[in-house]
Chain A
Amino acid sequence: MTIVTAPPPPVTSRPVRGSSRRGAMRWLLPLGPALVLLALFLAGPILWSVYIAFTNETLTGSASVHSRFVGVANFVKLFGDPNFLNSFLLTFVFVIGSAVIGQNTLGLIIALLQRGRGRVTRSVVNGVVIAAWVVPEVVAAACWFSFLAEEGTLNRVLGVSQEWLYTAPMLAVILANIWRGTAFSMLVYSAALSEVPADLVEAAAVDGAGPGRRLLHITLPLIRRSIMANLMLITLQTLASFGLIYALTGGGPGTASQTTPLYMYEQAFRYFEIGYGSAIALVMLVIGALFSLVYLRLIKVEDA
C-alpha cells in the first residue's frame, strides 16, 4: 500500500471567527486525502463488518454467495447461546483477574518498591519485567506451556504431578497474562510516581505518618488519574486478548477457557459463520465502549 502523508495544515492562516467557512475549507482541503483514506480503510471496514453482523454470511456454501439480511437474528441467537454466555463470563473473570487485580496491583507494587533503589537494581528489575512484555504472545504462551506442563518446571518445584492447563485452565491463562502484561502498568506507575513531590511525602513522614498512611492518603490520591487511565487501557487490551489463550489452551478443555474472542474466532473461522462472528465482535465492541465510559466517568467524578 502506498502511504500518503497529508501536508501539514498551514499554521499562518488560523480560521478567524466570523469567516469560519473559508477558514474551514483552508485546512479541510489539504487534510482531505487523509480523511478520505481514513474513511476508506478504517471506517469502511468497520461499517462493513457492522452490516455483515446483520446477515447470514458464511465463508463457503450457498450463503457465501447469496447471503441475505437477517435482521437481529444473529443477536437473538447470541443471547440464547449458552456457549456465548459462558465465554462472556470467562472474559469477565479474565479481565478482572489478570488486568484489574493482577497487572494493575502488581505493576503498582513493583513501581513503589523501586522508588529510591539503586540504578542497578532498577535496571535489572525493569529489564526482567519488560522482557516478558516484549516477547510475542505465542512465545510467552510457549514458555508458560512448558512451565505448566506435566513434566514442567512448576511440577518439579512443587514435587507434584498436575496437568495445570487442564485442571485449572483459567488460572493458568490469568497467571500467564499477568506475567506478560505487568510491565505496562509498572511503566505507567513509575512515571506517575516520579511526579509525586518528594517533599510532600517527607513532610508527612516528619508528621509521623507511616508508610501505609502515606501511600493511602498522599501517593494514591496524587496518581489517581494515572490509575484510571491505566485501568482503562489494560482492560481494553485484555478484553481483546486472543493469541496468548489460543496458543496456551485453545479455549479448552471443552469450553473451560474459551473467552469471547476465542469463541468469535471459532464461529467465524472454524465454523465459517462470518455473520454470526461479526455479531459477536460487535457485542464485544459495545462492551469495550461501556467499560471505557465507566472509567471516564470515574475520572470525572474524581476531578469534580
Chain B
Amino acid sequence: MKRTLAGSLLLLLTAVAGCGGGTPQNTSGAKELEVLYKVETTWPYLEKMLGAAKKQYESAHPGVTIKLTAVQGNNEAYYTKLALLNRSPDSAPDLYYHDTFQVNADVAAGKLAPLDDYLAKWPDWSTQFPDSVKQAAKGGDGKIYGVPISTDTRGLWYQKDVFAKAGLPVPWEPKTWNDVLTAARTIKQKLPGVVPFSMYATKIHGEASTMQGFEMLLYGTPGGTLYDDAQKKWVAGGKNFTDALTFVNTVFREELGPKQADAHNAKLGDKVTMEWFPEAKLGISLDGAWASSAWKPTGTKPWPEWTEKIGWTPMPTQNGEAPGAVSMSGGWVMAMSAYTKHKQEAFDFITTATNKENSMAYSVGTGDLAPRKDVAADPKYSADNPSVKFWTDLASVTHYRPAYEVYPKVSTQVQEAMEAVVTGSRTPEEATANYAKALPAAVGGPDKVLSR
C-alpha cells in the first residue's frame, strides 16, 4: 500500500513539474531574447525590418540569439495577445513592438522597464531624436519606456479624377467641415456608385476609429478635447462631443460614407487603398500619412500613377477656427519588458532595430513618418513619396492623445458612441449622454470627470 502511495505521489509530482516550467533551460549559457511583433499579409514591413535587425545584432553579439515571434492579425488582436502573454513573467516577451497609447497602462501594471539609464549612454538618443518624438512613450513618472519606431499625422486624401468628374476644384482646399461635407454631397449627386467619403467609425476598427475618426473631429472643434489638462479631469461629453458625432451622423444618415457592410468590415482600409482609390470609386478618405505605402513599387498594390491621381490636404477645423487645420499624432515604440533577465542585451537590440538603416527601411516601407532626424533628412526617405513633406509639416497643428493609464478604456467608450451613431441606433445627443454616463466607471470615479 505504501509503495502505491509513494508511486502515485511521484507520478503526480512529475506531472506537475511537466506542466510548470516556463523559462527555457539554457544549459549552454547562450542567451535568447524574444521579440514580439505584429504582421499582416498586407503589412509585411515590420517583419522585414526586424529580420534585418536580427541578422545585424546576432553577428555583432555572439552568444545572444533573437527569437522573433509574430502575431498574425490586426492591432486589436495584437493588443490582446500581448496583454495575455504579459500576464506571467514566464510567457512575457523580452522586447515588444508597442502602441504608445497602451504604454501608460502597462507602466502602471509594472510590465515595462524604464530605459533612461541606457538612453543616457546612447549618443543617438540626444542627437537624432527630436524632443517632441522622445515624449512618445513617456510614463506618468516622467521616465521613458520605449524608443520610437514611427510617428504619424492624419489628414484627408482625395481622388483627383473623381473630383474632376464631379466638377470639384483640384487642388482641393476645404476650410471647414461643411466644405468637406459639401464636396461629399456633390460626389454623391454627380457620381452614383462612388463612395464620397470614407472614415473609420465602428468598433471593429478599434483605436483607428477613435483616433483617425473621432479625435480628428473633436480636436478640431473650439476647445475640443477628451481631457482637461488644467483641471486634470476627463471631459464628459458636451457640445464639442455632440458636434463631432453629428458630423459622423451626417456622413452615415445622408449615405455619404461607406455602406454599413463596409463600415463594419475589418478590411475597410484595404478596400480603400487597394480597390476604391485606384479604381476611382472613392472621393475622400480621412486617414493617416501611411495610406500611400501600399502603392509604392514594393507595396502590396503597386500603383505608379498614384502621385498624379491622389491629392492630400489637411483636415479643416469645424468652422475654420485657427490654426485652420487639425491633426493627431501617435506612433509605435520598441519597448523592453520589466521581466527580461538580460536588460543590457535587450536594450542593445532596441538600438539596432532603431538605427538609421533599419529606421529608414521601416519608414520607407510603411509610409509612417521617420522619428530620426538623419532619416528624415535623407533624400532616399522621400524619393518616391511626394506627400512626405506635407505629412511632416502637419506636426505644427498636431495633437497627442491623453495617453494616460485609463485612455484605452476611454477610447472604447468613444467607439461605442460612434458605432451607435453609425448604425443609427442612437442620435448624437443620446450617444453623448451615454458616454457621459459611462465615463466615470472607465476613468475610476466621478471625481476624475469634468461635466460639460
Chain A interface (Cβ < 8 Å from any Cβ of B): 1-4, 7, 29-30, 32-33, 36-37, 40-41, 59-62, 64-65, 77, 150, 163, 165-166, 250, 252-254, 256, 269-272
Asked if A272 and B408 make an inter-chain contact with CB atoms under 8 angstroms apart, the answer reads: yes
Partner of A37, one of B1, B12, B102, B419: B12
A4, A7, A62, A270: the one contacting B15 at CB < 8 Å is A4
20 A-B pairs with CB atoms under 8 Å apart are: A1-B15, A2-B19, A4-B12, A29-B4, A29-B5, A33-B11, A37-B12, A59-B87, A60-B102, A60-B106, A60-B108, A60-B109, A61-B406, A62-B405, A65-B109, A77-B441, A166-B264, A252-B203, A253-B263, A253-B264
Counting CB contacts under 8 A, is B18 at the interface? yes
Cα–Cα distance between A60 and B406 once the two chains are bound (Å)? 10
CB-defined contacts of A1 to chain B, threshold 8 Å: 15, 18-19
Given A64-B109, A272-B408, A252 and B11 contact (CB-CB distance below 8 Å) = no
| Other A-B pairs beyond A61-B406, A253-B264, A271-B408, 15, CB < 8 Å | A4-B12, A7-B4, A29-B1, A29-B4, A29-B5, A41-B19, A59-B83, A60-B83, A252-B202, A252-B203, A253-B202, A254-B423, A256-B423, A271-B409, A272-B83
Q: Which residues of A contact B102 (CB under 8 A)?
A: 60
CB distance from B145 to the nearest CB of A (A): 13
User: Which residues on A sit within 8 Å (CB–CB) of B204?
Assistant: 250, 252
Assembled-state Cα–Cα distance A290/B197 (Å) = 50
Complex Cα spacing A212 to B336, Å: 72
Q: Mark B387-424, 1 if CB is under 8 A from A, else 0.
A: 00000000000000000011011001000000110110
How far is it, in angstroms, between the C-alpha of A253 and the C-alpha of B4 when the chains are bound? 59
CA distance A124 to B365 in the complex (A): 52
Q: Is the CB of B8 within 8 A of A61?
A: no
**Distance in angstroms between the alpha carbons of A250 and B106 in the assembled complex:** 27
Flag whether B130 is at the interface (Cβ < 8 A). Answer: no
B183 sits at the interface (CB 8 A): no
Chain B's closest residue to A250 (CB) is B204
Instruction: Tell me, in angstroms, the Cα distance from A249 to B425 when the chains sit together.
Output: 18
Residue from A1, A29, A65, A272 whose CB has the most chain B CB atoms within 10 Å = A272
Most chain A CB inside 10 Å of its own CB: which residue of B5, B11, B110, B111: B11
Taking CB as reference atom, which chain A residue is nearest B76? A270
Binding site for A on B (CB under 8 A): 1, 4-5, 8-9, 11-12, 14-16, 18-19, 76, 80, 83-84, 86-87, 102, 105-106, 108-111, 202-204, 206, 259-261, 263-264, 266, 405-406, 408-409, 412, 419-420, 422-423, 425, 441
Q: Which residues of B contact A59 (CB under 8 A)?
A: 83-84, 86-87
Chain A residues whose C-beta falls within 8 Å of the C-beta of B83 in the assembled complex? 59-60, 272
The 8 Å CB contact of A33, one of B12, B261, B419, B425, is B12
A65 and B110 form a contact (CB under 8 A)? yes
Given contacts A33-B12, A166-B264, A270-B412, contact A254 B420 (CB under 8 A): yes
Closest to B406 in A: A61
A250 to chain B, nearest CB (A): 6
CA distance A270 to B406 in the complex (A): 14
Q: Complex: how many Å from CA A59 to CA B405?
A: 12
The smallest C-beta distance from B348 to any residue of chain A, in angstroms, reads 26
Query: CB-nearest residue of chain B relative to A265?
Result: B80
**Residue in B closest to A165 when the chains form the complex, CB atoms:** B261
Tell me the interface secondary structure of chain A in the complex. loop
A270 touches B202 (CB 8 A): no
How far is it, in angstroms, between the C-alpha of A154 and the C-alpha of B106 when the chains are bound?
47
Task: Report Cα–Cα, A59/B259, bound state, in Å.
Answer: 34
Task: Evaluate contact between A60 and B86: CB separation under 8 angstroms.
Answer: yes
Interface contact A61-B11, CB-CB below 8 Å: no
With both beta carbons as reference points, the residue of chain A lying nearest to B86 in the complex is identified as A60
Indicate which residue in B4, B111, B425 contacts A60 across the interface (CB closer than 8 Å): B111
| Interchain CA distance A22-B261 in the complex, whole Å | 69
Chain B residues near A256: list those with CB within 8 A: 423
B80 touches A270 (CB 8 A): yes
Closest to B104 in A: A61
Which of A2, A33, A163 sits near B8, CB closer than 8 Å? A33
Q: Cα distance A37–B19 when bound, in Å? A: 11
- Tell me, rounded to whole Å, the shortest Cβ–Cβ distance linking B401 to chain A: 16
Most chain A CB within a 10 A radius of its CB, from B110, B261, B263, B441: B261
Q: How far is the CB of A147 from the nearest CB of chain B, in Å?
A: 15
A33–B203 touching, CB < 8 Å: no
* B87 to A, closest residue via Cβ: A59
A165 and B262 CA atoms in complex are apart in Å by: 11
In the assembled complex, how far is the CB of residue A33 from the closest CB belonging to chain B, in whole angstroms? 4
Measured between beta carbons, the chain A residues less than 8 angstroms from B106 are 60-61
What residues of B have a CB within 8 angstroms of the CB of A3 in the complex?
A: 15
Select one of A62, A64, A150 contacting B261, CB under 8 A.
Answer: A150
Bound: A270/B83 CA distance, A: 10
B8 and A29 contacting across the interface, CB-CB below 8 Å:
yes
Contacts of B263 in A (CB 8 A): 253
The distance from the CB of A58 to the nearest CB of chain B, in whole angstroms, is 8
Closest beta carbon of chain A to B13's beta carbon, Å: 10
Contact between chains at A30 and B8 (CB < 8 Å): yes
Shortest Cβ gap from A151 to chain B (Å):
11
Q: How far is the CB of A213 from chain B (nearest CB, A)?
A: 49
Give Cα A272–Cα B111 distance, bound, in whole angstroms: 15
- Inter-subunit contact A32/B8 (CB<8 Å): yes
Closest to B203 in A: A252
CB distance from B439 to the nearest CB of A (A): 14
What is the CA–CA distance of A30 and B84 in the complex, to the nearest angstrom? 37
Is B111 within 8 A of A36, CB to CB?
A: no
B264's contact among A62, A252, A270, by CB below 8 Å, is which? A252
What is the CA–CA distance of A65 and B338 in the complex, to the nearest angstrom?
13
Residues of A contacting B422 in the complex (Cβ-Cβ under 8 angstroms): 254
CB-CB nearest in chain A for B424: A254
User: Which residue of chain B has the shortest Cβ distance to A249 in the bound complex?
Assistant: B264
- A4 and B11 form a contact (CB under 8 A): yes
Closest beta carbon of chain A to B403's beta carbon, Å = 12
Shortest CB-to-CB span from A37 to chain B, Å, is: 6
Closest CB of chain A to B60's CB: distance in Å? 33
